[in-house]
Amino acid sequence: MSDPSESAPISSTLPPATPLRPRRRAIVVGASSGTGAALARRLADEGCLVALLGRRKELLQVLCQEINQKHAETRAVCYGHDVCDYDVVPDLLARIISDLGGLDIFIYMAGVNYPPGLEHLNFENDRRMMEVNALGAMAWFTPVAELFKSMGGGHMIGISSVAGDRGRVGNPGYNTTKAALSTYLEALRNRLTRHGVHVLTVKPGFIKTDMLKAAQGGTPFAIEPERAADDIYKALLKHRQSIYTPGLWRWIMLIIRHIPSVIFRRMSF
């Protein structure tokens, strides 16, 4: 269960933004490990104040300490949160915005992957993936979208996957959650661009994180999480709408998306 009262950010310890030293404020949901942790470090290195969310509070606290010691000032604060606690999101968001003194960048990184293998399907695992990867994202993007629309600006970033581009034999549930997230993000972009809000969809190939250990088969072109974080940060600066990381996957998926179904269904890929 999320318990915002257990988290310990104190807004007065955060360095103030000034006209000469503007500070962008970011939330990373799913920052305790892997790509989220790498992106949190990168945002802090670039001068952002970052709020880090996830269930593993000990990992978040260690990451906060590491970031704040590196910069000799408070640039990171953390909050224990399970994204399946949908009802607490509006109040938690309000509290974080109050702690940070505003919000400029929102990143939904949280995700789980439970491949069922080729012999069986597993509804419990599929439901869990849907709850974290898709519904948790919608629970957060909804109030953030309303906020940014009223502000007339802001960056919203969702971490989808190449897995959402095509239904494959190995992991139908995960494919579905990422396809849902990609479509949801596209729809948000189409609603919000006219209000000055930037929405970025990120589709990683393989990233060397704990999640990759669950992957079945080969993991070609796997990259370090720092490389993915670099691609995401650059896409944020350039206001890109959708990226693959590494970029090579844009061309790989272009081909895969165009393989006729009659051939694709015979492949074990």
Ligand X SMILES: NC(=O)c1ccc[n+]([C@@H]2O[C@H](COP(=O)([O-])OP(=O)(O)OC[C@H]3O[C@@H](n4cnc5c(N)ncnc54)[C@H](OP(=O)(O)O)[C@@H]3O)[C@@H](O)[C@H]2O)c1
In whole angstroms, give the CA distance from residue 176 to residue 131.
Answer: 12
- Element (DSSP H or E) covering residue 70: helix 57-71
Rg (the chain; Cα; Å):
18
Asked whether position 158 contacts ligand X by CB under 6 A, the answer is no
Asked whether position 9 contacts ligand X by CB under 6 A, the answer is no
Q: What stretches of 112-196 show up as alpha helix (H) in DSSP?
A: 123-129, 136-151, 172-192
Both structure tokens of 235: 């896409």
Which residue among 100, 110, 135, 235 contacts ligand X (CB under 6 A)?
110
Distant-in-sequence, close-in-space partners of 8: CB < 8 Å, separation ≥ 6:
77
- Smallest separation, CB 142 to ligand X (Å): 17
Going by their DSSP bridges, the two strands 76-80 and 105-108 should be labelled as: unpaired
For ligand X, the closer CB: 109 or 185:
109
- Smallest separation, CB 109 to ligand X (Å): 5
Which residue among 64, 159, 180, 229 contacts ligand X (CB under 6 A)?
159
Asked whether position 34 contacts ligand X by CB under 6 A, the answer is yes
For ligand X, the closer CB: 73 or 91:
91
User: Which residue stretch of 18-26, 62-70, 77-85, 233-241 sits at the interface with ligand X (rule: CB under 6 A)?
Assistant: 77-85
Asked whether position 132 contacts ligand X by CB under 6 A, the answer is yes
Asked whether position 87 contacts ligand X by CB under 6 A, the answer is no
205, with CB counted inside 10 A (0-12, 13-18, 19+), is buried
User: Which residue stretch of 42-50, 51-59, 119-127, 165-173 sits at the interface with ligand X (rule: CB under 6 A)?
Assistant: 51-59
Q: Are 108 and 141 in contact (CB under 8 A)?
A: yes
In whole angstroms, give the CA distance from residue 98 to residue 247.
Answer: 37
- Smallest separation, CB 129 to ligand X (Å): 9
Tell me the one-letter amino acid at 175: N
- Smallest separation, CB 181 to ligand X (Å): 8
Asked whether position 82 contacts ligand X by CB under 6 A, the answer is yes
Asked whether position 201 contacts ligand X by CB under 6 A, the answer is no
- Nearest alpha-carbon partner for 171 in 224, 228, 230, 211: 211
Residues that bind ligand X (CB under 6 A): 30-36, 54-56, 81-84, 109-113, 132, 159, 161, 204, 206-207, 209-212, 225
